[in-house]
Amino acid sequence: MLKQLLGKLPRKSVKSDSLEDPSNDFSNGGIQRTTSLNGASPRPNTVKRTSSAVFPSSVIAGIEPLLPFKDAPASEKMSLFISKLSLCCIVFDFNDPTKNTTEKDLKRLTLLELLDFVASGPPRFSEPAILALCKMCAVNLFRVFPHNSRSSRSNSGGENDDDEPSFDPAWPHLQIVYDILLKFITSSSVEAKVAKKYINRSFILRVLDLYESEDPRERESLKAIMHRIYGKFMVYRPFIRKSISNIFYRFVFETERHNGITELLEIFASVIMGFALPLKEEHKIFLWRALIPLHKPKCLGVYFQQLSYCITQFIEKDPKLASTVIRGLLKYWPITNSQKEVMFLGEVEEILEAINMAEFQRVMVPLFWRIGCCINSSHFQCHWNQSVLNLTLNVRNVFIEMDNMLFLDCHARFLEEQEKQTLAMEKRKEAWDRLENAASLQPMSGNTTAVLVEMGKGD
């Protein structure tokens, strides 16, 4: 089988195929079928689809791919690099660990060689080499995840999810491919103006699609790669921000299913730190339309820490946004979910520590009305907890020291309201007593009739 694998690659040096010939791209309209190693026809589930718009042509150099880099002359190393990349475009089924073990080991060793070569910093990556590397990464990484197992973290209930994460059996190869792509993007041997032809918008969108992976190791690798793409290819920064915003919109308003929200927020946290002042209107719109609505889903606890940090970064950049954030929190304030309510209160506390008086006065009335509702909640941590009672007394003492006359006036109103409520309860009790008494005087019969009791207007 190994001979069959190597026999499919030319062994004599040939010129690279023309980059201008799109017919050299993946055959059948952009579909490449993985090579069968046992001579049988490839199975349907081995099909890898990659957009022909991403890679306009395929380049395979004809140099022996098993030749070590150290044994190749300097003039042939880039051709050898392309040949090894072509060898690694064959994808294996890792669901069966006993299948194609020799070929898998060969591919893994070749991937490690490629990683060492990229990390060594060659003089300059040629355009055919950039194309071949992007193609190899696309063939190995870009895939569609099963719908029935996608987004288990966010769909299964949020921060109390005890399910174990799902690990991809192909990770021994995927990890090296991700490392190669990361080293490649950060390499000084890569010219951004050439690489952006292939690491283009289509490529970036496919990378963002991979954030739906259930494997946390893959999402962590993707986070590092997207950081570097955002840093190196400045022309794509608005597109990346818009694309991530669209993911947030679909998650909040349509699906509430996605595994990569945490990692995408971590990327945006560093992006926000780099925003120039004064903030562009585009960034403020992102805060209002994308970040604040992320408080809505039930699974908020999964990514709350990262979301709160992004919000804080915005307020540090522009303190005038504090009132905007608080109004947004009041809009999405949870009614029946006490765990989310505690998170909201914690975030409000952080915002109030940084808010100025002008912004505070804009939201203080609706904010304290909501806090009052929270204080009157029957949640198990409120009304009877001794620590909460002690804190309540401390707050009351603070109010007395701030404005004793206002406190006494509010206290008098409170007592008056309590007295009115007590009288209303007594009237209601008297009405029910009259109703029960009238019902007891009615003779028992087969026919039941309703008894109306006139109640006072205050009841």
Is residue 448 in some structural domain? no
Is residue 284 in some structural domain? no
**With b meaning 16 or more CB within 10 Å and e meaning fewer, what string describes 376-402?**
eeeeeeeeeeeeeeeeeeeeeeeeeee
Nearest to 63 by CA among 46, 75, 48, 51: 75
Mapped onto helix, strand or coil, the DSSP state of residue 340 is helix
Question: How many domains are contained in the chain?
Answer: 1
pLDDT in tens, the chain (459 residues): 444 444 544 443 333 333 333 333 433 333 333 333 333 333 333 333 333 333 333 344 445 677 888 888 888 889 889 999 998 998 888 888 888 888 889 999 999 999 999 998 888 899 999 999 999 999 999 998 876 544 445 454 444 444 677 888 999 999 999 999 999 999 999 999 999 999 999 999 999 999 999 999 999 999 999 999 999 999 999 999 999 999 999 999 998 999 999 999 999 999 999 999 999 999 999 999 999 999 999 999 999 999 999 999 999 999 999 999 999 999 999 988 888 998 999 999 999 988 999 999 999 999 999 988 887 777 655 756 677 778 888 888 888 898 889 889 988 998 999 999 999 999 999 999 999 888 888 876 655 555 555 555 544
pTM: 0.74
Is residue 129 in some structural domain? yes
Is residue 30 in some structural domain? yes
Is residue 330 in some structural domain? no
Q: Which domain holds residue 236?
A: 2-270
Give the 3-state secondary structure percentages of the chain, helix then strand then coil, rounded to 5.
Answer: 65, 0, 35
CATH code, domain with 66: 1.25.10.10
Is residue 421 in some structural domain? no
Is residue 162 in some structural domain? yes
Residue 249 has phi, psi (to 5 degrees) of -60, -45
Is residue 408 in some structural domain? no
